[in-house]
């Protein structure tokens, strides 16, 4: 076994992508995710899992931003993204486009991400690092998922939580395809 670099790595990834095409249409909405490091990480994750639309809203910083560019490794140039001042407007538009609106938030009705069947058109909503999403956004959500915590902490960083759930969505597709 040897690590791949350069052209062999590009060929390996290209061939893998061709045989594992994403099925779920994923939109990601960031409602006032405040820290540029998290936004940059979310751009990189969005690219990695093939998010179709990334919507930044509220106080979420937007490119061009030196931290977003550096942490996101320029993925803001390849991810389809937009800024919408009011997250409610973005969520309403996604809902009218047929997306299932899912909060990534601990709520009284949330289910563990690994117990959830994800729909073919999914809009995953992420809230602020300190206080989560607003009630007005939660009221627009069709469901909610959470990442269980087994230690004393109450949550993971917003971009880590998103990565866990988004990769699970893609792995669920692969499992169901075969």
Extract the tokens encoding 26.
């994923």
- Residue pLDDT, tens place only, 40-99: 999 999 999 999 999 999 999 999 999 999 999 999 999 999 999 999 999 999 999 999
Domains of the chain: 23-177 (3.40.1280.10)
What pLDDT shows up at residue 173? 87
- Which residues lie below 8 Å from residue 143, measured CB to CB, with a gap of 6+? 100, 101, 102, 103, 109, 111, 116
- Confidence class of residue 178 from pLDDT cuts 50, 70 and 90? low
Q: Which regions of the chain does DSSP assign to beta strands (E)?
A: 25-31, 53-57, 81-84, 100-104, 111-112, 121-126, 143-146
The CA-CA-CA angle for residues 163, 28, 145, to 5°, reads 60
Confidence of residue 176 (pLDDT cuts 50, 70, 90): confident
What do you get for the CA distance between the two ends of the chain, in Å?
27
Q: Residue 128 pLDDT more than 80? A: yes
User: pTM score, two decimals?
Assistant: 0.95
pLDDT of residue 54: 98
Instruction: Give the pLDDT confidence of 4-57 residue by residue, as tens digits.
Output: 999 999 999 999 999 999 999 999 999 999 999 999 999 999 999 999 999 999
- pLDDT tier for residue 135 given thresholds of 50, 70 and 90: very high
Q: Are 57 and 29 in contact (CB under 8 A)?
A: yes
**Residue 26 vs residues 52, 70, 108, 143: alpha-carbon distances, Å:** 5, 24, 24, 15
């Amino acid at each position: 076994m040897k690590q791949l670099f350069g052209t062999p790595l590009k060929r390996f990834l290209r061939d893998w992508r061709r045989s594992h095409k994403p099925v779920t249409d994923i939109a990601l909405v960031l409602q006032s995710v405040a820290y540029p490091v998290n936004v940059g990480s979310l751009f990189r994750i969005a690219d990695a899992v093939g998010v179709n639309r990334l919507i930044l809203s509220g106080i979420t910083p937007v490119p061009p931003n030196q931290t977003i560019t550096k942490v996101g490794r320029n993925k803001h140039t390849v991810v389809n993204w937009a800024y919408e001042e009011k997250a409610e407007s973005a969520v309403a538009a996604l809902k009218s486009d047929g997306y299932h609106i899912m909060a990534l938030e601990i709520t009284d009705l949330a289910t563990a991400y690994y117990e959830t069947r994800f729909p073919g058109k999914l809009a995953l909503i992420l809230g602020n690092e300190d206080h989560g999403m607003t009630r007005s956004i939660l009221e627009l959500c069709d469901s909610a998922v959470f990442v269980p915590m087994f230690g004393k902490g109450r949550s993971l960083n917003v971009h880590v939580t998103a990565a866990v759930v988004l990769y699970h969505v893609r792995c669920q597709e692969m499992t169901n395809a075969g």
